[in-house]
Structure 1
Amino acid sequence: MSRSYDCTDPEQRAAGLTDAASAVRRGELVVLPTDTVYGIGADAFTPAAVASLLEAKGRGRDMPVPVLVGTVRAANALVENLGPYGQDLIDAFWPGPLTLICRVNRSLSWDLGDSKGTVALRMPLHSVALDLLKETGPMAVSSANRSGAPAATTAGDAEKQLGDSVSIYLDGGPCDDNTPSTILDLTTAVPRLLRRGAISVEKLRGVIGYVATDGGSESDG
């Protein structure tokens, strides 16, 4: 049976974070608020838990699960390197709605789906999410909805779609902004925009100068 905690109440928040961290360590699924939409998460290093996450969403391995981190140090441990632009982007936009695609550290033992040697990383700007991630370490997190359905902007929305497949629901109230994160691929010579989102191309260009979009490279010049 699923358990839900009102994270706007300090006592429930503390109890919910403790319960959720324990559930993640057991390989169970939790729903958590982020700065974009609600996410469904699992321990990134437990393949059976990630498989359960994909099953709960009705999603295939062809769409690998992104990873949320609570610290920049955790992100650095997951990748071969951040390339020439990664650290500047992190300094400017993390925590926040920017997802970075990087080459994965090949020594890691995990299975996020058919990721082709890459990982999508983000540090969310939400205190509940960050507190949980600092307890659990990196989590595989996707939007808390069935595949093809609207993203959940409340814990109730998520529970209606995912039900008892999730052990813990952390309710942080309605999302302030359901604009998705911007996704930027750092595995190519020039950073390449994969999804327009909360951080504009203009802001990205203000930090790193060049961003490749569908129309080719864009720069301030």
Structure 2
Amino acid sequence: MNVIANKLAVEKLNIGLPIIFHTDTLPAIGCLPKFSEIIYKIKQRDVKKPLILMGAESFQLNEFVHKTAFEDYKYMASRYWPGPLTMIIPISEKSKPLFSNKNLTLGLRIPNSIMANYLIKESGPLLTSSANISGLPPSTNAKDISFDLPNVDILGPVPWPKCSGKASTIISWVNNEKWKLIREGEVFIPGIK
């Protein structure tokens, strides 16, 4: 297990390498958006499955949100972030070239994790996924993850604080003030089915 400090993690992210880090739900593997193909390769993940863009503060994610969904996004962000909620929203025109996914939507989240937020404040938003090989159950600690993904650096210090082990709730923006529940997870949002 190769455990590294925040400064070195940011340097590695900037040259296109992914980092594994603690979040409030499940540990994540993340990279800068322009290097997203590395996560698909390492996880053996289907490129049709989108990644989640994590920020440390909602202003870091504002530019990725299409103007039609912006007010609803701001409202949900103010109520549930930081925390275990992922919002799927239409992406802004200027951010489309940053993503290899041909989909016109993007999942956004701000985790309630000091370690994750400190890293993302320094690196900028990161495209993320759970830190496991696709199709295998996710691990919740650095030691187990290092067996599945031995060539990816792990943000220390370890051991990490205990994470919930449960995935984030995912909602998708439909239109003005209307959301659809995609996956039940850690947080319950009244009125969304």
Tell me if TM exceeds 0.5.
yes
What residue is the counterpart of 1:151 in the other structure? 138
Whichever residue aligns with residue 74 of structure 1, its letter is: Q
- In 1, Cα distance between equivalents of 2:159 and 2:117: 13
Distance 1:172 1:97, change over 3 A: farther
- In 2, Cα distance between equivalents of 1:187 and 1:157: 38
What residue is the counterpart of 1:38 in the other structure? 27
What residue is the counterpart of 1:12 in the other structure? none
Whichever residue aligns with residue 2 of structure 2, its letter is: R
What residue is the counterpart of 1:70 in the other structure? 56
What residue is the counterpart of 1:50 in the other structure? 36
What residue is the counterpart of 2:113 in the other structure? 126
- In 2, Cα distance between equivalents of 1:58 and 1:17: 26
1:74-94: per-residue Cα shift (whole Å, max 9, x none)?
111111133443222111110
Whichever residue aligns with residue 173 of structure 1, its letter is: W
What residue is the counterpart of 1:99 in the other structure? 86
- Return the offset for 1:175: 2.9
Contact 2:23–2:111, Cα closer than 8 Å, also in 1: yes
- Return the offset for 1:169: 3.8
Contact 2:84–2:186, Cα closer than 8 Å, also in 1: yes
Distance 1:144 1:118, change over 3 A: same
What residue is the counterpart of 1:193 in the other structure? 181
Contact 2:83–2:110, Cα closer than 8 Å, also in 1: yes
Whichever residue aligns with residue 38 of structure 1, its letter is: P
What residue is the counterpart of 1:161 in the other structure? 148
- Gap regions ≥5 residues in structure 2: none
Contact 2:82–2:110, Cα closer than 8 Å, also in 1: yes
Q: Secondary structure at the match of 1:186?
A: strand
Q: Secondary structure at the match of 1:132?
A: helix
- In 1, Cα distance between equivalents of 2:130 and 2:64: 21
What residue is the counterpart of 1:87 in the other structure? 74
What residue is the counterpart of 1:219 in the other structure? none
Q: Secondary structure at the match of 1:163?
A: coil
What residue is the counterpart of 2:168 in the other structure? 181
Whichever residue aligns with residue 129 of structure 1, its letter is: A
- Gap regions ≥5 residues in structure 1: 6-15, 214-221
1:136-165: per-residue Cα shift (whole Å, max 9, x none)?
11100100000111112001121111111x
1:170-207: per-residue Cα shift (whole Å, max 9, x none)?
3352533111100010144520000000111xxx22xx
Pairing 1:111–2:99 present: yes
Q: Secondary structure at the match of 1:92?
A: helix
Larger radius of gyration: 1
1:33-73: per-residue Cα shift (whole Å, max 9, x none)?
000011000001x2xx2111111111111101111001111
Pairing 1:138–2:125 present: yes
Contact 1:112–1:140, Cα closer than 8 Å, also in 2: no
Query: How many residues get paired?
Result: 189
